[in-house]
Structure 1
């Protein structure tokens, strides 16, 4: 902090104080308000706080918060890590994260996809991590092809080292703009946004999975150095040896996140043998995948914000007959447009007990009805649990899938579980 100009020191201290006050008064975690106030005093504070730090920026449509947490855990070898662990992924949140830990020499920052080019320019990171791009909050964000183009242009002007998922054509095309890249085969379950070539618009050949190629212009999947094998629960790195992941986070998506985290740690000089045990320590991230117990029933919380995320959540549901609660809001952080519900295939829920909640439960109910999925409406998770227990005293578990603000409301009802 002492190396910062006086004005920047004052701005950072003021922001830190505002963040602390926000937490103390129960208004929030302070990640946003602290940065907003600091920026009023010093508009270039992000650049000044980033100077001299080896930063990793993590951006994607899905998995940013979890992957940021995994990378930060892997990099603990360097001591304290500056990171926005609460998911405030715009410049205000980055300022709060860096200002809260000014002595840290290494930082890992989750970055909103739309803000990545500007944050890349302002912070000059050592590493940029790119994982996936799919439709999300279409009333706020640009078309994802345009986002990929902006990523590519920003990377062409940067010296940063890119760690990127080669299996996502949009991400790979953006990452090919970088001078130095490490490619990871992390998989791509949701392919509905990447059937066309981002270079020429031609129809991509996508067989055998995960290979892809454009017959028109020749753009093809880059050769990978790291790869996930979901069936075997392993990851291979530059040496070619398979390492068992054995994560405490569920599903293929988290295996992909872990492979990306291991590749990023390696870019910082940390071996998988050192990093992997630290990834296994993580059991939940900001409430995601957490289980809480109420009325003798285990309630597992899953966050899904868009079609790709819902597809991944369906893949980790407990087998039927475990019931599932679906909750959807349409507030500003969620995106006001709920038309994305029609992009999700809900037929996988047939035969399962399904409850719908949230401000937009009617939209969700109509979508389920169209897919011939029987459902019941509810107001609160505890009301569903009470109903299940009254009908079957041996009821022991229920899964909850919710989009962003619905998830936070449920999480708050259980005391902001971690």
Structure 2
């Protein structure tokens, strides 16, 4: 793509503005400057995104899905950087257009020349079709589709249909990597003409005892008939087929029992397999991938571990029914061995979270209460969450104490005080709440 002199000048001005704003925000310790510079630069050069996409030397990798984008993209970045590649990556999780522009501008010089072998960009589910208007990626990685912010997205089949329409015009050499355990994504992959590869689990020993309440898509995406499940790993992800039309799970390109995993929770096994398969498709040796997995550290708020005043803290983002069920499952597996401890649950209803919080009634909070100990509750919708947890308590249950704190700083202080020195405080926040919690714990916000 040739760039006109006019576009080049405007891109240079956009870069200068973005770098100036970034420097000021960070100098004044106002945040990470992951969104604002992109917003300002687009006003100067509306073509900033396509102009920079064309400069990525080896290819753009887009990562989409409801849960796991930030962790998976960070793992893949770490693998590629271990091989000596230079990677542009929206590490702060800013996955709307402004965040993508900011990320790429950070990797340019003062005249708008981009210095990156790969661009690894996590992309919001609704934004993917917009991004594909300006980009022909080398890879698209689809992790999963769960109900998340129905006020913004709609149902999962609607999102899948938008994705299919946007991906269909891409050239055949584009590689699409999808989670075969998700029926919706598996069916999507079976309809595409591009090079499609699938990851997933083949470990029946970790099936759930039953299909959870917060299940999204147990009907055949081809004919609408109920799917027959041999077993589920989490939510509607599992081993399935349709007795009516013959639709079934596609063959996997990875053998999951051979793979180690990053961090805690089964959901992170999926993230590991997803990033690992992309790396393999790029020709990276499996031994090098395993070594990176072994030494991986969490992205912010995603099983991130902090030391706060001598107390150990783990932040587990919990932004929808499936995500919160899995974080509760992880906490339950840890604390049922070590005994009851303290949890902090923070529920907000801002735009990044979704304004409808009725989803908390689809969460199996009974398991969290069953652990006992202390649960501190805070957030904009503190009383909604407190009511949900109160209904989760069995009649006469005395081993779980609920503490309500409207003020988040007070809630954090109380939770830390209630946590014994040898135990871990687990914090389960929604998205905007996670940013607030981290800001209070580390003194750094996202802007």
Assess same fold via TM > 0.5.
yes
- 78 and 126 in structure 1: CA distance in 2 versus 1, 3 angstrom threshold: farther
**Partner residue of 2:132?**
120
Stretch moving more, 294-303 or 146-155: 294-303
In 1, the alpha carbon distance for the partners of 2:301 and 2:197 equals 31
Q: CA deviation at 1:277?
A: 1.5
The aligned residue for residue 84 of structure 1 is 90
Shift of 1:208: 4.3
The 2-side partners of 1:74 and 1:61 are apart by: 22
Q: Is the 8 A contact 1:161 1:180 kept in 2?
A: yes
Q: Helix, strand or coil: the match of 2:62? A: strand
Counterpart for residue 183 of structure 1: 198
Alignment partners' CA distance in 2, 1:254 and 1:417: 26
Deviation at 1:288, TM superposition (A): 2.7
Distance in 1, matches of 2:272 and 2:348, equals 29
Q: How many residues align?
A: 399
Q: Which residue of 2 aligns with 1:97?
A: 103
The answer to whether the Cα contact below 8 Å between 2:376 and 2:411 also exists between their aligned partners in 1 is no
Aligned position for 1:344: 363
User: Residue 80 of structure 2 aligns with which residue?
Assistant: 75
**Alignment match, 2:393:** 372
Q: Indicate which of 95, 118, 121 corresponds to 1:106.
A: 118
Change in 2 beyond 3 A, CA 1:177/1:78: farther
CA distance in 1, matches of 2:196, 2:412: 45
Q: Among residues 58, 62, 65, which one is paired with 1:57 in the alignment?
A: 62
What is the deviation of 1:322?
A: 2.1
2:434 paired with 1:414: no
Q: Does the residue aligned with 2:199 lie in a helix, a strand or coil?
A: strand
What secondary structure does 2:353 align onto? coil
| Distance across 2 between alignment mates of 1:222 and 1:12 | 44
1:307 aligns with 2:321: yes
1:368-403 Cα distance to aligned partner (Å, 9 max, x none): 1222264222342222222456xxxx6633211111
Taking structure 1 as the reference length, the TM-score comes to 0.89
Alignment match, 1:242: none
Asked which structure has the greater RCO (Cα within 8 Å, sep 6+), the reply is 2
* Separation in structure 2 between the aligned mates of residue 23 and residue 175 of structure 1, nearest angstrom: 42
- With over 3 angstroms needed to count, the CA separation of the structure-2 counterparts of 1:110 and 1:80, relative to structure 1, is same
Tell me, what secondary structure is at the counterpart of 1:123?
A: coil
- How far is 1:68 from its partner? 0.6
Partner in structure 1 of residue 162 of structure 2: 150
C-alpha separation between the residues in 2 aligned to 1:30 and 1:98? Answer: 13
Unaligned runs of 5+ in 2: 108-113, 233-237, 395-399
Distance 1:246 1:82 in 2: 24
Secondary structure of the residue aligned to 1:212 is strand
| Structure 2 residue aligned with 1:256 | 270
Q: CA deviation at 1:8?
A: 2.3
**Corresponding residue number in structure 2 for 1:39:** 42
Aligned match of 2:142 = 130
Alignment RMSD (CA, Å): 2.3
Counterpart of 2:254 in structure 1 is 226
Tell me whether 339-348 or 7-16 shows the greater mean CA deviation: 7-16
Following the alignment from structure 1 to structure 2, what is the Cα–Cα distance between the partners of residues 357 and 339?
17
From 185, 188, 199, give the equivalent of 2:222.
199
Name which of 297, 303, 324 aligns with 1:289: 303
User: Post-superposition shift, 1:214?
Assistant: 2.3
Say if 2:190 is the partner of 1:172: no
Q: Distance in 1 between matches of 2:261 and 2:145?
A: 26
Q: Any idea what SS the aligned residue of 1:164 has?
A: strand
Instruction: Tell me how far apart the structure 2 counterparts of residues 227 and 6 of structure 1 sit (CA, whole Å).
Output: 50
Any stretches of 5+ residues in structure 1 without a counterpart?
Answer: 236-244
Superposed CA offset, 1:12-59 (max 9, x none): 332233233222233332221111112112222211100142010000
Counterparts in 2 of 1:142 and 1:22: CA distance versus 1, 3 Å = farther
Pick closer, same or farther for the CA change 1:313–1:208 going to 2, 3 Å: closer
Task: State how far apart, in whole Å, the 1-side matches of 2:175 and 2:346 are.
Answer: 39
* Aligned-partner Cα distance in 1 for 2:411–2:330: 22
Whether the 8 Å contact between 2:31 and 2:444 is mirrored in structure 1 is no
